[in-house]
Structure 1
Amino acid sequence: METLQRVREDTQNWFAKNLKGDRWIWFVCIIMLLWSIVVVYSASVKDAYSQKQGNTEYYLIKHSVLCFLSLLIMYFVHRIPYIKFVYVTRLAVWSSILLLIFTMFFGTSVNEASRWIEIPIIGQRFQPSEWAKVALIAHLSLILARHIKGGWNTRELFMEPLALVGVVCGLIFTSNVSTAVMLAGICFLLMFVGKVPLHYLFFTAVGLVFFATIAILLNSTQRAGTAQNRITSFFDKDIVVYQSQQSYMAMARGGLYGEGVAKSRQRRFLPEPQKDFIFAVAVEEYGTIGGVVLIVFYLIILYRGLKAIEATKRPFGGLLSAGLTFTVVSQAFSAMAVTVGLVPVTGQTLPFFSQGGTSLLFTGIAMGMILSVSRGENIEEKRI
């Protein structure tokens, strides 16, 4: 008993010493990642048999490693004082623009969408839009923080942030309409919170439409056509959307308490069950109760991420935490809304729950930055 008590105390001391910031965020993220390993293992059975000759452990091992790496990234990022992010936001956002342009012309296409860059030797795909989301929100937070107490002149506003938001969202729009629209909405919200005059926000909307149009003309109208078809199908009740139909069947089977761990039957018919529709698999296996628990977890992240603003007295930390929190939570609720049929099919994944390399790793960066803000800092650079 004494040995167990000593181990428990040592463990508690290690966590208290090494895991700084909001403990609720740490708890929720760790629980979701551990839970996701079980659900992804169950949901990936179809792909394991069709693509990996029945090697079901392949996706289990791959997703477990990515979850560990995401936590590791989250840990190292949260140890960095958030004021130091000031020095890399501009480089980050411009590097993301270059990567998005490269992807548009030379990217790897999957499901007729050029969203990925294939990394040589290791064969792992990298999705630049995930990097662009974090980089744009971080740099936009810095720009707004510098002007929040002062006025804007037209030149400053059009150079940054209006043109910047327009370029990034326009480039993403060519291959991922839903992500571009969601990111633009979050940027609008952040600029409103950052006290950008309303008439300038109108010009931002015009700029977004302009850059999206140019990006489509340079590439193709394929994804715009896909988005239009999905919206049309959603509002036309005579059209049966296969993904939605299978999703409803999965959740109906789950009932209140669920079919049980790894007992999903609709995983064999759902498209991308371990990614876009993993919420349906989770509800089928763990019931409505499991679905509600997941929703509560994301609401906790929303509340604690916004509460982290109290730990900083300067605008950059508050805007950074708010922007990244909205990004993660809005993606989560977008994915769940698709699953239950509240919005058209978008292809968004559940952060920290769906299978995915790039998404998991960059969500780890985003949550690490939020935790860094929640640690609090007494001094923030004067340049902010």
Structure 2
Amino acid sequence: MNQTITGKIKAGAALVDPNRYGRSDRSATGRWFWEIDRVLLLLLAVLIGVGLIAVAAASPAAAQRYSGGSVHFAELHYFYRQIAWIALSLPVMIAISMQPRERLRRLSLIGALVCMVALALVPMLGAEVNGAKRWLNLGIGQFQPSEFLKPFFVVSMAWLLSLRESDKSLPIFTLSAVITGVVAVLLMRQPDFGSTIIFAAVWIAMLAIAGLNLRILVGLGIAGLVGVVLAYFFYDVATARINGFLFGEGDNFQVENAMRTLTAGGLFGMGPGAGTRKFGLPEPHTDYIFSVIGEEFGLIACLMIALLYLAIVARVLIKLLDEESSFAILAAAGLVIQFGLQALINMAVNVQIAPSKGMTLPFISYGGSSMLALSIAMGLLLAFTRRNPYLTRSPYVVKWGGENIRG
């Protein structure tokens, strides 16, 4: 009996043999390498690479539209700038993914508060672009508070909703509703109806994961539909977008032209740089970059990108099946739902099944604020899905390097 147990313990120790798996590296980087979800990291790297190719394809059209006739405005101007933003954003993503969860929780609460204050200042101090005030001019560049608020809002809501486990008498759901309502009001003042929908949808999804009563969830769904109807009648931006989508009223040129551009390349596309319809798109490098991909690389490439987003969402949700921390589950699920929903809305607009919302395609569209904010969000996601790979392999515990490690 003792020999059998001893043999199993030795087998368990072999699983964490530092010489075999490089576990002798006890540095923060070494621990991060073994705990990070490398499949998820690879999927994100592929998505960023695809985004660079897409921005290179869209950059000539965007440069022609926004150059103002300047001879110094290179065709690949936006491509070069996107490389610079990626060079800045990727270290941020990796650095955040190496942090412990508790530290990220505290930083997210502070970040959410700062971004909400900035969001409140946007209507008064913001720079107007295409009829909307969504950016604060910092001198060296523009800062879009709503983009940075997204990940911090999710983590803050996850912490708030997880408090219900320790004390069910706390008015958690009411408090979360008030915070979400304040964010919605601030966004609609810009106006930014699309982001308002994303914040509300992610909040309801997190309530469902937190175990809110089904009747209340149904009530919230009905309230959301009523809110959209009221927005249609009393909110000019929503009225114009919905009329344009449903009845073809007003300026519906953008979504119609995007659909024509998307399908112009057929299944396999016209080839890199061979697209011509992209020069007629209003925002070829941001809102309508998915249509540029369709024209130059084909509908099959568009399908593969959609599947890549689906793979990222599915990977995270499957990873959370073995997670025990309710805070980590809510935070990671909320972040990946928000990520997937933004991608879905952008693609839906490009294929003309949703009204135009001015929303970028995550990690593919050009944008400094967007790239940096998404890197923060995915850094948080990677941190909340980190796990010691040896924790569930065996019921036998081995003392190794001062730690108790299961085989």
Amino acid of the structure 2 residue aligned with 1:126: F
More displaced stretch, 322-331 vs 87-96: 87-96
- Residues 38 and 100 (structure 1 numbering): CA distance in 2 closer, same or farther, change over 3 Å? same
Q: What amino acid maps onto 2:112 in structure 1?
A: V
Amino acid at match of 2:205: L
Is 1:193 matched up with 2:209?
yes
Whether the 8 Å CA contact 2:85–2:368 is kept in 1: the answer is: yes
Choose which of 83, 101, 115 in structure 2 pairs with 1:64: 83
Q: Output the TM-score relative to the length of structure 1.
A: 0.84
Corresponding residue for 2:394?
A: none
Q: Are 1:103 and 2:119 matched, yes or no?
A: no
Q: CA deviation at 1:349?
A: 0.7
**Distance (Å, rounded) in 2 between the aligned partners of 1:338 and 1:137:** 24
| Cα gap change, 1:103 to 1:294, in 2 (>3 Å) | same
Task: Indicate the residue corresponding to 1:250 in structure 2.
Answer: 261
The answer for unaligned runs of 5 or more in structure 2 is 1-21, 392-407
Deviation at 1:31? 1.6
Q: Say which is worse superposed, 168-177 or 138-147, in terms of deviation.
A: 168-177
Secondary structure of residue in 2 paired with 1:367? helix
Number of the residue aligned with 2:131: 112
Matches within 5 A, 1:136-215: 136-148=153-165, 150-154=167-171, 156-158=172-174, 160-174=175-189, 175-197=191-213, 202=219
Counterparts of 1:297-376 in structure 2 under 5 Å? 297-310=308-321, 312-376=323-387
Amino acid in structure 2 at the alignment position of 1:80: Q
Query: Of the candidates 120, 135, 143, which is equivalent to residue 126 of structure 1?
Result: 143
Task: Tell me the SS of whatever aligns to 1:375.
Answer: coil
Amino acid at match of 1:284: E
- Letter of the 2:209 counterpart: V
Measured at CA, do residues 128 and 179 of structure 1 come closer, stay the same or move farther in structure 2, by a change above 3 Å? same
Q: Supply the distance in 2 between the matched residues of 1:207 and 1:85 (Cα, whole angstroms).
A: 31
Measured in 2, the distance between the counterparts of 1:22 and 1:143 equals 26
Residues 303-327 of structure 1, C-alpha deviations (whole Å, 9 max, x = no match): 1121232453110111100000000
Q: Contact 2:256/2:352 (CA < 8 Å) preserved in 1?
A: no
Distance across 1 between alignment mates of 2:125 and 2:225: 24
Q: Which residue of 2 aligns with 1:6?
A: none
Q: Which moved more, 1:110-119 or 1:232-241?
A: 232-241
Counterpart amino acid of residue 230 in structure 1? R
Is the CA contact (8 Å cut-off) linking 1:177 and 1:224 kept in structure 2?
A: no
CA gap 1:333/1:302 in 2 versus in 1, 3 angstroms: same
C-alpha distance after superposition, 1:158-178 (max 9, x if no partner): 3x2121111112211222001
- Give 3-state SS (helix, strand or coil) of 1:44's partner: helix
Inter-partner Cα distance in structure 1 for 2:40 and 2:303: 18
Distance between the aligned counterparts of 2:273 and 2:235, measured in 1? 37
Identity %: 26
Q: Distance in 1 between matches of 2:169 and 2:180?
A: 16
Shift of 1:91: 1.7
Query: Does 1:26 find its partner at 2:41?
Result: yes
Q: 2:260 and 2:349 mapped to 1: Cα distance? A: 14
Unmatched 5+ residue regions in structure 1? 1-9, 379-384
Is residue 127–residue 137 contact of structure 2 (8 Å, CA) maintained in 1? yes
Count of residues paired in the alignment: 355
State the SS of the aligned residue for 1:83: helix
Offset at 1:243? 1.1
Matches within 5 A, 1:218-297: 224-237=235-248, 241-297=252-308
Question: What TM-score results when the alignment is normalised by the length of structure 2?
Answer: 0.80
Decide whether the 8 Å contact of 2:319 with 2:385 is kept in 1.
yes
SS in 1 for 2:134: strand
Paired with 2:163 and 2:156, the residues of 1 have a C-alpha distance of 11
Deviation at 1:356, TM superposition (A): 0.8
1:179 CA drift (Å): 0.7
Shift of 1:209: 9.1
CA distance in 1, matches of 2:259, 2:220: 40
Following superposition, the deviation at residue 199 of structure 1 comes to 6.3
The corresponding residue for 1:84 is 103
> 1:106, 1:208 → 2: CA distance?
32
